[in-house]
Amino acid sequence: MLTVRARVEADEVAVAALLSAAAERVTSLDPTVWMPRWPGPGPGLVAVDDDGGIHGFTRPRVAELGPRDGSRMYAPDRSVAWGDAVAGGAAAVAALAAEIRSTAAGAEADNLLWPTVDRLADPWWTAAGFTRTGGYAVRPPEPLAGPLPPGVTARPATPADADAVVALHREAVAFQAEHSPYVRVAEAGIAGFRDRLLAGTSSMVLETDRGLVGVCEWWYVDGATHRPIQLPPGRYAYLNSVAVTAAARGVGLGRAVVAAALAAAGPGLDGSTLWFNPANPIASLVWPHLGWRSVWSVWERRESVSGPS
């Protein structure tokens, strides 16, 4: 039987040993995935046995989103994130989960990030009520080949495209929401696409004689400082959102607009990255097919799931 208590300074070596063991296991499976080997600062929880041995650790962080926070499209209004999470088995995960969920924020939702390649831990999270709700994927820097379909042109988005771009993103988020209870059409998030475009964030659009049919928003990220994910050092193109109108899907336009975005990002990239929703029947097939490999997974549990807001 494991119990949970607040960590103390004397726990640090034992926690570091747990973190290091997990990091060694993950690195042996995928050398490009970085995991911490020493616990970060701040309050933490440890799962201990009757003899004081430490079997699990995390640094819970409460997140509360306001009504104008665009993250509400994919995140609950109140939750607890398991920072620096590590466990030696299902019992430690269960003990930590019970403690975290006894708080007001944790009772509503909690979540963690874990390397996708480490399938050993999958049943631990599943047994504790978590579901895999997101994947962070990386692709090597090779160009994405493929001609534009006839009658389609690619160009950078302009402020004049704002209404059409927002409509495309709204449609894409609504499609995801149909397939996942963890996604909702939050007006603050939809408005963010317009605000970023008007502020100068790069987006590529696909255009036909009927108007815009696809968009890909992107920007550069530094691998060493990118959060909450840390990548190998380098310069990456982060694809924040790809949207193709329903009437134009199935003819390669998603691939075409992403290829245009990567071409616009230019040479010298160390790769490209994106988040995708495993429950999305298109994204879960397209991104692996085009060379993106999930390196981190979001595991999440929500007591209740909100609808559009």
Domain membership flag for residue 159: yes
Verify that 57 and 202 share a domain, yes or no.
no
Residues listed for the chain: 309
In a domain? residue 308: no
Same domain assignment for residues 196 and 176: yes
Residues 12 and 68 in one domain: yes
Q: Are residues 176 and 294 in the same domain?
A: yes
Tokens of 6: 């607040």
Residue 33 belongs to a domain with what CATH number? 3.40.630.30
Strand 211-222 versus strand 203-208 pairing type = antiparallel
Name the band, by pLDDT with cuts 50, 70 and 90, for residue 305. low
- Kindly state the percentage of the chain with pLDDT values over 90: 81
Instruction: Supply angle C-alpha 21, 26, 32, rounded to 5.
Output: 130
User: Mean pLDDT for the chain?
Assistant: 93
Domain range enclosing 91: 3-129
pTM of structure: 0.91
Residues 152 and 291 in one domain: yes
pLDDT of 307 strictly over 90:
no
Q: Say how far apart CA 297 and CA 278 lie, in whole Å.
A: 10
Residues 107 and 170 in one domain: no
- Decide if 258 contacts 291 (C-beta within 8 A): no
d(CA 304, CA 46): 27
Cα–Cα distance, 297 to 144 (Å, whole number): 24
User: Is residue 178 assigned to a domain?
Assistant: yes
The reply to whether 214 and 169 lie within a common domain is: yes
The domain tally of the chain equals 2
State pLDDT tens for residues 265-283: 999 999 999 999 999 998 8
Phi, psi of 262, deg, nearest 5? -65, -35
d(CA 20, CA 117): 16
Inside any domain, residue 134: no
pLDDT band at residue 144 using 50, 70 and 90 as cut-offs = confident
Q: Which tens digit of pLDDT belongs to each residue from 15-56?
A: 999 999 999 999 999 998 988 899 988 899 999 999 999 999
Residues 222 and 119 occupy one common structural domain: no
Per-residue pLDDT for 5 more than 80? yes
Does 122 share its domain with 217? no
**Cα angle 103-37-50, degrees, rounded to a multiple of 5:** 55
- State which of 37-41, 213-217, 283-287 shows the largest mean pLDDT: 213-217
Q: Are residues 227 and 87 in the same domain?
A: no
Residue 294 pLDDT > 70: yes
When pLDDT is cut at 50, 70 and 90, the band that residue 223 belongs to is: confident
User: Edge-to-edge strands of the sheet including 203-208?
Assistant: 3-6, 45-48, 54-64, 78-87, 109-115, 293-302, 131-139, 271-276, 235-244, 211-222, 203-208, 153-156
pLDDT above 80 (res 79): yes
pLDDT in tens, 81-111: 999 999 999 999 999 999 999 998 899 999 9
Q: Quick one: 104 and 150 in the same domain?
A: no
Mean pLDDT on 65-88: 94
Residue that terminates a domain, selected from 71, 100, 129: 129
